[in-house]
Amino acid sequence: MLQYHYLHSDNASIKRGDLQTLINIVICKMFRSYLLVVSIFVFLFQVSLVFSSRGVDISQASTIAAFQCLKSKGYDWAVIRVYGKFSIIDAYIFPCFSCGNGAGQVEAMVKYIHSYKTNVDMVWFDIEGPGVYWSSDQSKNRDFFNSMLAGAKSAGVKVGVYTSESQWEPIMGSWTGGADYPLWYAHYDNNPSFSDFVPFGGWKKPHAKQYEGSVSDCGIGVDLNYY
């Protein structure tokens, strides 16, 4: 003889033999779970929109008015060039390999900035120009990079790396010595997103992207970036 037992769900008693009713309840619960997953996805998507932002990097002298203008146009952050080939110029570091002493270059840059009572949260090492600004000996380039890291540690600043696959690999080879630091990569596709990113140099994901270069805005030349 088939015996009926009772299950309790949502304050309703249901006979185990009533399969259709049980199936309906299961489907209902699955649908609720589906709605929960969709709600979480929408929430995360909205959060990603909130925390994504656009910025600029600048390699020339500027004014307060120009920065106020850029801010009014929706740019939230800026990276400023601070060191050039022969002397301190003005706020990322474009190192001079042939000058030697990578640590000293970083320390001098930070000291100069501090002399104006300004603090820098992140110093980006601009790694580009294979065969022009770097040695043809990749091991020497790696040693110079490590020297810069030592200088940053001594100066008490955080480090990021600005480069791209086409620049990093000819300079550093397959070395992954920069992968512990945030990556700011360049790809001029006029697309403010990371959808184009392909891992290289040990980096699995980027921190920021330079998606358009040499744009004139607010009376100064800037590069456009996505974070």
Tens of pLDDT, residue by residue over 94-123, are: 999 999 999 999 999 989 888 877 777 789
Sorted by sequence, the CB contacts under 8 Å of residue 167 that are 6+ apart come out as 127, 128, 129, 130, 186
What's the pLDDT at 167? 98
Residue-wise pLDDT tens digits, 45-79: 333 333 467 877 777 677 888 878 888 888 886 77
User: What is the band of 80 on the pLDDT scale with cuts at 50, 70, 90?
Assistant: low
User: What is the band of 85 on the pLDDT scale with cuts at 50, 70, 90?
Assistant: very low
User: What residues act catalytically?
Assistant: 57, 126, 128
Sorted by sequence, the CB contacts under 8 Å of residue 104 that are 6+ apart come out as 151
Q: Dihedral sign for Cα 174, 178, 179, 183, please.
A: negative
Distance CA 37, CA 26 (A): 17
The mean pLDDT of 146-162, rounded to a whole number, is 95
The mean pLDDT of 170-181, rounded to a whole number, is 98
The pTM assigned to this predicted structure is: 0.65
Q: How many Cβ atoms sit within 10 Å of the Cβ of residue 36?
A: 10
Measured CA angle at 78 (ends 59, 181), to 5 deg? 95
For the chain, the straight-line distance linking the first and the last C-alpha, in angstroms and rounded, comes to 68
Residue 83 contacts residue 124 (beta carbons within 8 Å): no
Tokens at 84, concatenated: 């050039």
Smallest CA-to-CA distance from 205 within 179, 223, 226 is with: 179
Q: What is the 3-state secondary structure (H, E, C) of 108-126?
A: HHHHHHHHCCCCCCEEEEE
How many CA within 13 A on the CB side of residue 43? 6
DSSP 193-212: SSTT---BTTBSS-SEEEEE
How many CA within 13 A on the CB side of residue 136? 1
What's the pLDDT at 221? 84
What's the pLDDT at 188? 96
CATH node for 53-226: 3.20.20.80
Sorted by sequence, the CB contacts under 8 Å of residue 27 that are 6+ apart come out as none
Residue 190 identity (one-letter amino acid): N
